[in-house]
């Protein structure tokens, strides 16, 4: 692995060539309803239609294909709130490698089952991403497995950045891009790609009020721990790692703003996605729509918003659509 602090546009172009044919090319559609709301053209990047249901297949595939055959044979391991684990399991199986996925007990059951179905071994450890990570470190030290982290890794960031290349290819006139933000691999990669090609484009990170580790870390100027709280945007949960090497610095340098969304706003975003755009998205995938509907995106258009994932428990989804769900998962309000 190179020691360079940043992932470059060249790295992202290399990743794009490497993963071509192994990930889907997802559609970009115009939203008349959101254009009316925002007063500027709004496009939805339907990345929740990506194979495995989220953009995470881009980073996982690029990381796996960057390994030597001997490294691949040792097996890959990761801690994941779900979508990264799913993506790594899929990517590993596609290349004939074994994946072991460690996750906390807060991860929804549907995600656990689907990862097992993809041929990976799942280990459930503790109640936080950090505890799951401790198990990963043990498997790396004791069994020699190769860790593929969910965001703070150059090949993962470069893989997620390929989404930025696709966005500018589909909407070259984009002025503002709305990116769901958790550990920052997606935002760092997309921002590096888009700012590398078109520096004046504004990149805005979107996350939930409940436990926004990257926002707290940007404010503090160093990685900080936040209490993990259940959220409708469960894919945005988890810390950024106290030893964060890449994504905090990249988000600090490349993001123009970070907007925090309430649980109510995220629910409204999911409802709009379904009822108006006819799309099933998980909470994390709806934060861009939520920010537009709440009127808090003030920068100019055309605006592209990334619908990042669709892996939501369908019973919860139905309750949100019907307006009968308590907005915070049970037992935590």
Task: Catalog residues that contact ligand PLP under the rule CB under 6 A.
Answer: 54, 56, 83, 150-151, 180-187, 235-236, 282, 284-285, 308-309
For the CB of residue 81, give the shortest distance to ligand PLP in the complex, in Å: 7
For the CB of residue 1, give the shortest distance to ligand PLP in the complex, in Å: 18
Q: Are 250 and 191 in contact (CB under 8 A)?
A: yes
Q: Which 3 state secondary structure label does DSSP give 144?
A: coil
- C-beta of 41 vs 176, nearer to ligand PLP: 176
d(CA 37, CA 109): 36
Q: Is 136 exposed, middle or buried (0-12, 13-18, 19+ CB in 10 A)?
A: buried
Q: Is 298 exposed, middle or buried (0-12, 13-18, 19+ CB in 10 A)?
A: exposed
User: Which H/E stretch holds residue 271?
Assistant: helix 263-275
Q: Which 3 state secondary structure label does DSSP give 261?
A: strand
Q: Which 3 state secondary structure label does DSSP give 304?
A: strand
For the CB of residue 55, give the shortest distance to ligand PLP in the complex, in Å: 7
d(CA 254, CA 219): 15
- C-beta of 97 vs 312, nearer to ligand PLP: 312
- C-beta of 75 vs 184, nearer to ligand PLP: 184
Q: Half-sphere exposure of 194 toward its Cβ, with a 13 Å CA cutoff?
A: 32
- C-beta of 41 vs 85, nearer to ligand PLP: 85
Instruction: Output the residue with the shortest Cβ distance to ligand PLP.
Output: 309
For the CB of residue 309, give the shortest distance to ligand PLP in the complex, in Å: 2
Q: Does the annotation mark 308 as catalytic? A: yes
State how beta strands 28-30 and 42-45 pair: antiparallel
- C-beta of 58 vs 202, nearer to ligand PLP: 58
For the CB of residue 264, give the shortest distance to ligand PLP in the complex, in Å: 19
- C-beta of 36 vs 109, nearer to ligand PLP: 109
For the CB of residue 142, give the shortest distance to ligand PLP in the complex, in Å: 27
Active-site residue, from 16, 31, 45, 56: 56
d(CA 217, CA 226): 9
Q: Does the annotation mark 66 as catalytic? A: no
Nearest to 232 by CA among 204, 268, 184, 199: 268
d(CA 242, CA 224): 6
What amino acid positions are annotated as catalytic residues? Answer: 56, 308
């Amino acid at each position: 692995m190179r020691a360079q602090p940043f992932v470059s546009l060249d790295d992202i172009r290399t990743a794009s060539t490497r993963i071509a044919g192994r990930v889907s090319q997802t559609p970009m559609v115009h939203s008349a309803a959101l254009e009316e709301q925002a007063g500027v053209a709004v496009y939805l990047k339907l990345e929740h239609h990506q194979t495995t249901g989220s953009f995470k297949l881009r980073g996982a595939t690029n990381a796996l294909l960057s390994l030597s055959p001997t490294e691949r044979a040792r097996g890959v391991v990761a801690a994941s709130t779900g979508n990264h684990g799913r993506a790594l399991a899929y990517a590993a199986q596609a290349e004939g490698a074994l994946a072991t996925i460690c996750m906390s007990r807060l991860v929804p059951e549907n995600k656990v089952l689907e990862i097992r179905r993809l041929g990976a071994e799942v280990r459930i450890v503790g109640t936080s991403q950090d505890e799951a990570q401790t198990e990963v470190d043990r498997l790396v030290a004791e069994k020699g497995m190769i860790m593929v982290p969910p965001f703070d890794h150059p090949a993962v960031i470069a893989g997620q950045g390929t989404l930025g290349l696709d966005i500018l290819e589909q909407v070259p006139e984009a002025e503002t891009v709305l990116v769901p933000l958790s550990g920052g691999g997606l935002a760092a990669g997309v921002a590096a790609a888009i700012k590398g090609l078109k520096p004046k484009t504004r990149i805005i990170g979107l996350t939930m009020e409940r436990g926004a580790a990257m926002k707290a870390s940007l404010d503090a100027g160093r990685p900080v721990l936040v209490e993990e709280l259940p959220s409708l945007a469960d894919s945005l949960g988890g810390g950024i790692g106290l030893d964060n090497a890449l994504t905090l610095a990249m988000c600090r340098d490349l993001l123009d703003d970070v907007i925090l969304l309430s649980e109510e706003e995220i629910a409204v975003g999911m409802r709009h996605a379904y009822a108006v755009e006819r799309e099933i998205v998980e909470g994390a995938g709806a934060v861009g729509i939520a920010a537009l509907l709440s009127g808090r995106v003030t920068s100019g258009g055309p605006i592209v918003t990334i619908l990042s994932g669709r892996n939501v428990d369908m019973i919860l989804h139905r309750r949100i659509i019907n307006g009968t769900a308590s907005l915070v998962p049970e037992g935590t309000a």
